[in-house]
A and B are shown apart, each in its own frame.
Chain A
């Protein structure tokens, strides 16, 4: 009974909201480029050149704190802006930001990973809930970027490759800021180029990162540089 009333109130409220303010929606979608194929987990093998192939089993990462600038003035910032991309869950491959004011912008900035304040804020919910498997247990902190798979180049057991990139405290802060100067887009299409990541790592020597360290920072930078955006 109460829930029905609540629903009616909710519907009325949301109608009122949508009709009064001209709401401005910015859609972000994230796609993966793996040797120019669409990725299907554990299925698609990327072949970068004759010698190197790889296969991705798990790919999860946080994009957070989306903010929009017009000539370097902040015009819109998404509230509670934490998005967990999980290759295995298609609904996480796009999301919509509601902006009550119709703003124009020419620069979008966001983070790859979770900022340090959020990292020391205790138990959090939604995309940040520890049941999402992106929280380290033995030492506090979020995993910003997780990639697990196989490559013929890796001489580990079953050619496994495991990168859990994170770390929020100096000197091992691996959070990356990504900036794109773009037109006033309402449909932002981000592409993560997996080939570029693998091309920049020597998988024979580096195939396993599981804690905050210098290597994690280096690889986080490579991942950040592997994003591109439509213009």
Chain B
């Protein structure tokens, strides 16, 4: 029984492999710039993406085999930790930050809210080793997987080598994450001149371009830089953002500008998840800005938005929701792989 499923699966992988050049598997949306990820060092193939998807959903990556990447990054909330201000991991230990939504990672250069991670490939090492997230280490992960029935075969199918290395594990996880492209919101359709905005959305778009897009830059809705957007310091966390990495006073209280795509579903907001609703966010920008040395120039004079304008701006932000991303079956839990295949 197991064997039949495996044979079927391997056959499927082979079929997919024939049409699997990087260009086919990674299509740059027509309204997007060139990605920053260097695919020449890790060209996408279907078997590698499928392996990465299995790893992303498999709690084998954690010490007690209970927490997977998806525990904190679930698809229906744009791969963030829905409802949790601070993410919680192994044995329900509370983390330090809010889990960011994961999408369009191929266009990002630095990762984490403070940019502590310099390449997507090595990102997974952080949650795997974090004592309040997965509390495991990559040596153990590789060794646990080597002793399973399925993984040596999946690694062989992907890399031509059933010996599981850290490099191949990380590259496969990266491959799956690189495929998480969100570029099918109403906004994108409008940009591709397929549909039109309503008058309200259009007004919201104008307000957005005037007040927000210097940081939340189109079409990715982030300029991939670190900014202080005027949040007060939570003294229970004392998180100074980018400063933790650079130790440079100029970076104090700066956090990565997050994308606003799928913002409707990725609440709560900000690095510590302090805001639950979009209205809280807009009120912050109009009347909650805390002055400090590193506050961004754009926010030094308060943004003025009337109640009606806030509604319009919100209508625009909702047009960034991409249902084809949130419900794309390619990103689902790979049940065809995990059911019927015991782990030992």
Measured CB to CB, the residues of A under 8 A from B are: 119-125, 128-133, 135, 137-141
Contacts and interface: CB of A to CB of B under 8 A. Distances in A.
Nearest to B172: A123
B167 A140 contact: no
Contacts of A122: 38, 41-42, 119-122, 170-171, 174
Contacts of B117: 139-140
A123 B118 contact: no
A130 B118 contact: no
Nearest to A124: B167
Contact of A123 (B116, B142, B170, B245): B170
B166 A121 contact: no
Contacts, number: 66
Contacts of A129: 165-167
B122 A123 contact: yes
Contacts of A131: 138-139, 142, 165-166
Interface stretch (B5-13, B16-24, B126-134, B301-309): B126-134
B138 to A, nearest CB: 5
B122 A135 contact: yes
B130 A121 contact: no
Interface string B122-149: 1001101110000000110010000000
B174 A123 contact: yes
Find the residue from A121, A123, A135, A141 having the highest chain B CB count within 10 A: A123
Contacts of A132: 166
In the complex, the 7 A-B pairs of residues with the closest C-beta atoms, listed nearest first: A122-B121, A123-B170, A123-B121, A125-B167, A131-B166, A137-B129, A140-B118
B167 A120 contact: no
A130 B169 CA distance: 10
B3 to A, nearest CB: 21
A130 B119 contact: no
Contacts of A130: 122, 125, 138, 166-167, 170
